[in-house]
Amino acid sequence: MFYVGIDISKYKHTLVIASHLGEIIQKPLDFDNSQLGFKTLLDILKPYDSKQLKIGFESTGHYSANLIQFLLDQGYSFYQLNAHLVKKFSLSLSTRKAKTDKIDSLAIAKFLMTIDSKSFTPLSYHMSHLKSLTRHYYRLNKYIGKTKVELVNYLDKAFPEFATYFTSIYGKTSLNILLTANSLLSIARLSESRFESLRKLSRGRFKYSKYLKLKQTAKQSVGLKDDYLWHLLHLVIRRIHSLQVEKDSIEDEIKHIMDDIQSPLPSIPGMGITSAAIILSEIEDIFRFPNTKSLIAFAGLDNSVYQSGTESHYGKISKRGSKYLRTTLYSVSLPVISNSKLFYEYYFDKKSKGKSHKLSLIWVSRKMLRVIYHLLKNNETFIDQKV
């Protein structure tokens, strides 16, 4: 068996080949992340029987995407390695404080000798597409949240009393008022005809009495009389609108793919289509997890453990693995508790044993993963009384 360690970087990769005896067959060699560079890689690998090659590199996000596609096209299997484990292993090889691409590629080759796991299974087109969409959706959602906070900050200066008149300042009616106003005075002078258009926009929920109070408050507001604040408000509101359009487009595409996949995850009460898509795309292939413990560890929901001699204790959750999977499970746990008898009883059982609300939600997230493992492994629909 020959072990091919590849250190991934943006513009080039570094390769080394070692035998099962630890002998260096191919000294560290750089090849570009390009067609010519991949041809160099292929020329190096061709003399070896592909069944006798164990190729591995760290899971480094999109930097390895082109190499993965090339290896799949050429029929090579490979291992995507946990970067944290490789780092720990590399540190154990030497006491010297040194890190280079050559050292890293050799450490990866040696690490390959120590593992006995399944090689990378190519994702279906749907799953690969879904993962890209859901991760973009996740980041976009966080950016929208930050932009909304930015809007609140500007509004607190320009018209701090405004928010008290609306359930949410991000609704169509409130944003429309802010977007068409350029000062406190312009809100104070809103016309009767303007109210009628706002009433229709809110479908009758924006009452005339509230409209009059808002105008009166604008006259007496302690807001800063600076034109630049209203200009910034308009820019942020337009950005929110643009981001929301992008978000809606991604949600439509995710729903389309989920309709094709027909996953059992949305059958869990309270589990939305988008949340189910994020969980499914992060898990990828349920059969790469031998048991529920490995899946829970992948989500970073396992407890850290310390044991030395007679001393032993469990710490906080490890938070290693997929942050997208972990945070989605945690955020969806409340709606699942509210809609599922099984999870509702499980949550309050943990609460009755003295666990805090947050800790109980973590326990629910773990329980959810065990249920998801069962559903995906057996391709079954969730039944509240059965699982």
Residues 197-243: tens digit of each pLDDT: 999 999 999 999 999 999 999 999 999 999 999 999 999 999 999 99
The DSSP annotation for 351-379 comes to: HHTT--HHHHHHHHHHHHHHHHHHHHHHT
Question: What is the rounded distance in angstroms from the CA atom of residue 299 to the CA atom of residue 84?
Answer: 15
DSSP, collapsed to helix, strand or coil, labels residue 78 as: strand
In the sheet with 2-8, reading across from the earlier edge strand, the strands are 24-32, 12-19, 2-8, 53-58, 78-81
CATH top-level class for 129-253? mainly alpha
Question: What is the rounded distance in angstroms from the CA atom of residue 216 to the CA atom of residue 64?
Answer: 60
Question: What is the rounded distance in angstroms from the CA atom of residue 316 to the CA atom of residue 2?
Answer: 40
Tell me the whole-structure pTM to 2 decimals: 0.76
- Provide the pLDDT for residue 380: 94
Buried b (16+ CB within 10 A) or exposed e, 32-64: ebeeebbeebeebbeeeeeeebbbbbbebeeeb
Question: What is the rounded distance in angstroms from the CA atom of residue 239 to the CA atom of residue 148?
Answer: 10
Q: DSSP character for 316?
A: E
Question: What is the rounded distance in angstroms from the CA atom of residue 78 to the CA atom of residue 71?
Answer: 8
- Provide the pLDDT for residue 121: 57
Cα 185 to the center of its chain, rounded Å = 44
Nearest Cα to Cα of residue 14 among 63, 82, 50, 77: 63
- Provide the pLDDT for residue 366: 96
Tokens matching residue 199: 């009433």
347, 379 Cβ separation under 8 angstroms: no
Specify the domain boundaries for CATH 3.30.420.40 within the chain: 2-122
- Provide the pLDDT for residue 127: 80
For residue 98, the tally of other CB atoms under 10 A from its CB is 9
- Provide the pLDDT for residue 282: 93
What pairs with residue 6 in β-bridges?
Answer: 15, 57
- Mean pLDDT per block of 10 residues along the chain (387 residues) reads 92 93 91 94 93 88 85 88 83 74 88 76 68 94 96 97 95 96 95 93 94 96 94 97 96 94 95 96 90 94 65 69 94 96 95 94 96 96 77
Specify the domain boundaries for CATH 1.10.287.4070 within the chain: 129-253
Question: What is the rounded distance in angstroms from the CA atom of residue 148 to the CA atom of residue 161?
Answer: 17
- Provide the pLDDT for residue 312: 47
- Provide the pLDDT for residue 129: 85
240, 151 Cβ separation under 8 angstroms: yes
Topology, domain 2-122: Nucleotidyltransferase; domain 5 (3.30.420)
273, 350 Cβ separation under 8 angstroms: no
